[in-house]
Amino acid sequence: MQIIISNSSKEPIYEQIYAQIKKLILTGELQEGQALPSMRQLAKDLEISVITTKRAYEELEKNGFIYSIVGKGSFIAEQNKEMMRERKIKVIEENLLIAIQNAKEMNLSLAELKEMLTLLYTEDA
């Protein structure tokens, strides 16, 4: 699990951790049931105080992203698959809107756009 924090950002460090772990969960990089590093281990790795990682983990737990077992650690909770799917679809829609906006600015037609899409999609596969 790779996490990068910025000391100079306006965002409090525990929020940065929360956001990054949440993203990893939503994008599926962290799987359900997977164990998170202990909050003390994470604090040591990131060179921050334990109470910061503790707060981040508490927030994650409060919002249902992880759960903790005393003496064993914290684990990724089962995510509502429907919600995740909906979220992902929304992200795709947003990205498409941006592409469409750019295309219109360049006077690219819908047909040309579809062609680009097909090309890129099949190329990847």
**Binding positions for other proteins, rule: CB under 8 A:** 10, 12-14, 40-41, 43-44, 47-52, 55
Which of 15, 87 has the CB closer to other proteins?
15
Contacts of 61 (CB under 8 A, 6+ apart): 67, 68, 74
Kindly state the smallest distance separating residue 51's Cβ from other proteins, in Å: 4
Kindly state the smallest distance separating residue 70's Cβ from other proteins, in Å: 10
Kindly state the smallest distance separating residue 36's Cβ from other proteins, in Å: 15
13-26 and 50-62 helices, crossing angle to 10°: 40
Residues 36 and 75 sit within 8 Å (Cβ to Cβ): yes
